[in-house]
Chain A
Amino acid sequence: MKRSLFAAALLLAACGREEGGNVAAPEGNGGAPPAAAGGEQPKTNLQQALAGSADHKTLANAVQAAGLAETLSGAQPYTLFAPTEAAFQKLPAGAADGLLAPEAKGQLVTLLTGHIVPGMVTAADLGKAIERGKGKAQLATVGGGTLTFGRDGDAIVVTDGAGGQARVTGAERLASNGVVHDVDGVLQGK
């Protein structure tokens, strides 16, 4: 049964890719994916997924520097809104390097935890929550902030506590302990 569930989730992810990365809410309650045959449970955890992605090298380094690698490779589930390399390049010159400096570790942890949401929120779950919330859904981050999600056409847009916005891009990637959504901007921690 579990296998079929994950297969369904993967199928959803594949559908999302075809539609530009933003998966429509499935039918039925709770975002539980419909049963489907084939596929396997993801073998990589969130940390491994980041480390193996060419588009998340800066983020992977930041996670390592902040000491959060164990968190993302642990048993507890998280949803990670992962800024891409392009997202970090939008920051002012030197800002990304400054965040990796030892004296900025506190700020770095705050920043990163503002991208992590407890539990496993798939794109389908997010889409359904936005629908149910009449165009708006809020997710609490483990850093103590709140991210607000809405739609801009087909795309899902996320707004951080400081009013900064980014788009959810690409397809979600399921991991054994969570899910990764790419975002094209770096969000503020609170």
Chain B
Amino acid sequence: MRNLILLAGTAALAIAVPASAEKGGKGGGHGQGGGKPAKVEHGGGQGGGQQARAAKPAKAAQHSVRAERPARAERSAFRAERPARVERRAFRAERPQRGERRTIRDERRHDTFVRRSGEERRDFRRVGRDVRPVPIFRPGEPRFVGFDRFCPPGLAKKGNGCLPPGQAKKLFARGQRIDRNWFEGYRIPVAYQGFYRDTPEHYYSYDDSGYIYRADRGSDLISAIIPMLGGGFGIGQPLPAGYDAYNVPYPYRDDYYDTDESLYRYGDNAIYRVDNDSGLIEGIVALLGGGLNVGQELPDGYDAYNLPMEYRDEYQDGDDYNYRYADGNIYQVDAKTQMIQAIVEMLA
């Protein structure tokens, strides 16, 4: 089956090159896979990509196209058809986004620039020689590359974040078109809803695979894959792309700040300690429940008074107010309406 998929990917590649050259431009490639079901596209794209990297047909073809210097539109069409792209997008380190309003077209231009850089070509050759790549980071370079580049032996290498093979087939890749039907009936767990709210530009989906997907509302293309705790991540594995910036919630910053040896990153309701050299997760230093915000009703699960001992003499439940601890904060809750009114303490 895998061979068939690889064969199909290679065949599609072979067809795409002359087709784009003959048509002289428009090519159907911009459709990001057109109307094909997302899951089918996922497998074919990745399989083709791996084949291309091993035998280098894609690179050779690319060179031949460049040598003929076709029009810009032709090159664009060729890139869109090339199956290797999906996988490259998946494991490439994601640069911090400058703004939520960035369009897919902008991102595509950015990706093209990165792919043409010397850095990327060097990585490509290294893979072609079948030499295991070593994570070497330059100053200012994103460290958290994730998505299968350094998967431990035995885990999937399909651009899905080092998941065991059994789970790998459920996942979508970044840049892929999301299949909304796939997520019907699922809801993002309550604990995560406060952090991943839909915006005019994006919406979030979840399917029990251990990942939350952020998709562009207009194009349905997946722009981020956010792992949840237990979703295949653990000690010794790299954080996924998108964790370049220090992002620890404010109440925890006095305890967990970046040093020369360790970085701290918040994600999927946990704060991770990450080795500064290797980019690998070394430990989970704090777990956050999430879900409490001033102005909202106290959610289920906070029935019991839970303040640390040293704050109990100051904040006791009464007829007017209750107090609850969550995520480094002590919240004041209206006893009658159960509305969260204020953060009265930040525990540092």
The number of residues on chain B lying at the interface, defined by a beta carbon within 8 Å of a beta carbon of chain A, is 58
The interface residues of chain B, by DSSP majority, are classed as loop
A70, A77, A107, A133: the one within 8 Å of B303 (CB): A133
Given contacts A29-B317, A30-B317, A106-B232, contact A137 B303 (CB under 8 A): yes
Q: Which of B296-342 contact A (CB under 8 A)?
A: 299-310, 312-313, 315-319, 322-328
* Contact indicator A67/B283 (Cβ below 8 Å): yes
Question: In the complex, how many angstroms separate the beta carbon of B279 from the nearest chain A beta carbon?
Answer: 16
Chain B residues near A102 (CB, 8 Å)?
152
Contact across chains for B325 and A105 when beta carbons are under 8 A apart:
no
Bound state CA distance, A75 and B346, in angstroms? 13
Report B156-193 residues with CB < 8 Å from chain A CB: 164, 189-192
Interface pair B230/A128, CB less than 8 Å apart:
no
User: A32, A67, A68: which contacts B281 (Cβ < 8 A)?
Assistant: A67
How far is it, in angstroms, between the C-alpha of A2 and the C-alpha of B312 when the chains are bound? Answer: 9
Q: How far is the CA of A79 from the CA of B303 in the complex (A)?
A: 14
**A128 and B301 contact, Cβ closer than 8 Å, known pairs A118-B327, A144-B269:** no
Question: A residues 89-116 with Cβ under 8 Å of B?
Answer: 102-103, 105-110, 113, 116
Which residues of B have CB within 8 Å of A142?
191, 269, 287-289
Most B CB within 10 A of own CB, among A69, A77, A126, A189 = A77
State in angstroms the CA–CA spacing of A76 and B346 once bound together: 11
Nearest CB in chain A to that of B318: its residue:
A29
CB of B29 within 8 Å of the partner chain = no
Q: How far is the CA of A190 from the CA of B286 in the complex (A)?
A: 19
Known: A142-B288, A144-B190. A107 touches B324 (CB 8 A): no
Contacts of B101-145 to chain A: CB distance below 8 A: none
Say yes or no: B234 contacts A109, CB within 8 Å: yes
Complex: how many Å from CA A132 to CA B317?
Answer: 12
> A44 vs B283: C-alpha distance in the bound complex, in angstroms?
20
Q: Please state if B304 and A6 are interface contacts (CB–CB under 8 Å).
A: no
When C-beta atoms are compared, the residue in chain A nearest to B210 turns out to be A106
| B229 at interface, CB cutoff 8 A | yes
13 residue pairs from A and B, CB less than 8 Å apart:
A71-B286, A76-B252, A77-B325, A79-B306, A105-B235, A113-B229, A120-B306, A128-B305, A137-B304, A138-B301, A142-B191, A142-B288, A144-B192
For the complex of A and B, list the 9 residue pairs with the smallest distance between their C-beta atoms, beginning with the closest: A140-B301, A119-B306, A110-B230, A30-B317, A105-B234, A119-B325, A30-B316, A129-B304, A67-B235
